[in-house]
Homo-oligomer: A and B are copies of this chain.
Amino acid sequence: MARMVKHDKNSPYEVPEGTELPLYICACGLSKNKPFCDGTHKKTRDENPADTYVYDDAGRTCVIKQY
């Protein structure tokens, strides 16, 4: 499973001293609360493992289909 996600930042997020741990950091790319996980990865669980998707507010589109 995989997806193409648009990134427009060009410097890292800082997690400052004093932040309570553990933390869960977005890895699926789709969180609306980056850098933190907001649970959106659940939407990716039924992706076809061979295909590549793009997500937007309307849902997802398969952009690379493996036959």
Q: Residues on A close to B: CB < 8 A?
A: 1-19, 21-30, 34-35, 37, 41, 44-45, 47, 52
Give the chain B neighbours of A11 by CB distance below 8 A. Answer: 27-28, 41
CA distance A15 to B50 in the complex (A): 29
CA distance A19 to B22 in the complex (A): 8
Q: Are A27 and B35 interface neighbours, CB within 8 A?
A: yes
Q: Are B15 and A15 interface neighbours, CB within 8 A?
A: yes
CA distance A28 to B6 in the complex (A): 9
CB distance from A65 to the nearest CB of B (A): 15
CA distance A26 to B4 in the complex (A): 16
Q: Are B10 and A17 interface neighbours, CB within 8 A?
A: no
